[in-house]
Amino acid sequence: MTLRSLLFLGVAACAAVGAAVVAYVTTSRPLGAPLDPERVDLSALDQVPAEVWAQLRTRRIYFGHQSVGENVIAGMEWILSRRPDIGLRLVAADSPDAFSAPGLYHGPIGVNGDVKSKLENFGAVVRGPQGAQLDMAFMKFCYVDMAASSDPRTALAAYRSTIDTISKDRPGLQVFHTTMPLTALDVGRKAHLKRLVGLASDGESANVARGTYNETLRATFERGEIFDLAAIEASAPGQEAQTLDKGGRSWATLAPELTSDGGHLNQGGRVLVARELLLLLARHAGKSGQLPAASAAASGVGG
């Protein structure tokens, strides 16, 4: 090996060591590698009997959401391309023939940061003429709908009022309830030190309000009716969950391995969440005895 080659290898080695040192010094823990979607275990989907997927394919389902919901739909598309036997149609709710045939219809509702607008929009779709054809419906808020200063109980009271009205108008409709998504902790040694002395950023502290909303929602509705998005987001497979310590207790945050920007889901996170949503829909389309047990994330653990 020439001297020039040796020098080149030495420089490369120093660069690698330097990068590792920077990662150690500037973060509160080593940064988790993004979850590879290929590593998400889909075996629970394979345990669902073919007749249950056939039943699900006869249902008309509506999902109102914003950007994180788009992440989940992208995860479902990824799974369905690899499990074509599931056969669930994904259709934009604003398509010309929306709700005319079975499928999962999805689309944006309301304005981010405005809980009332989302509830009104969701209620208008479900209670409108097209809603009479629906078998299942659910919506989700976005993490930006709950700031650190927001009142989560007021938001849940408004949500419950909307659901009560829908239930009276559509007594045969299955309505699911989705916990509010989370955000990840800020990275960096400075952010970590600020948290240690109780100075978490407003973005991080909003997870307390989101966690309070989620706890109240879990206590309000039957567990089997809840799509616990927050619980799924809180822990990547094989990784220790990161939490925010505030007010004398720990609050769940979005696992860094599942996010691309601290709030939205990366491809692995999308597939992980979509898997659980498909299992929830299958459990309600088929007979409970025909289906595998819910995963730990989907069973309601987390904050």
Domain that holds residue 228: 40-299
Inside any domain, residue 18 = no
- Name residues of the chain where pLDDT drops below 70: 1-32, 186-203, 287-303
Inside any domain, residue 47 = yes
Q: Is 300 left (phi over 0), alpha (psi -120 to 50) or beta?
A: left
Inside any domain, residue 28 = no
Model pLDDT, residue 128: 94
Q: How many domains does the chain have?
A: 1
Model pLDDT, residue 92: 96
Inside any domain, residue 108 = yes
Name the E strands within the chain: 60-65, 90-92, 103-108, 136-139, 174-175, 177-178, 226-227, 243-246, 249-252
| CATH code of the domain in which 45 resides | 3.40.50.1110
Model pLDDT, residue 212: 97
Inside any domain, residue 170 = yes
The pair phi, psi for residue 298, each rounded to 5°, is: -80, -10
Paired residues of 251 in beta bridges: 244
**Pair 60, 133: CB distance under 8 Å:** yes
Inside any domain, residue 27 = no
Choose among 128, 155, 133: nearest CA to 144.
Answer: 155
Inside any domain, residue 59 = yes
Model pLDDT, residue 289: 45
Paired residues of 246 in beta bridges: 249
Inside any domain, residue 111 = yes
Which two three-digit tokens encode residue 80? Answer: 């369905």
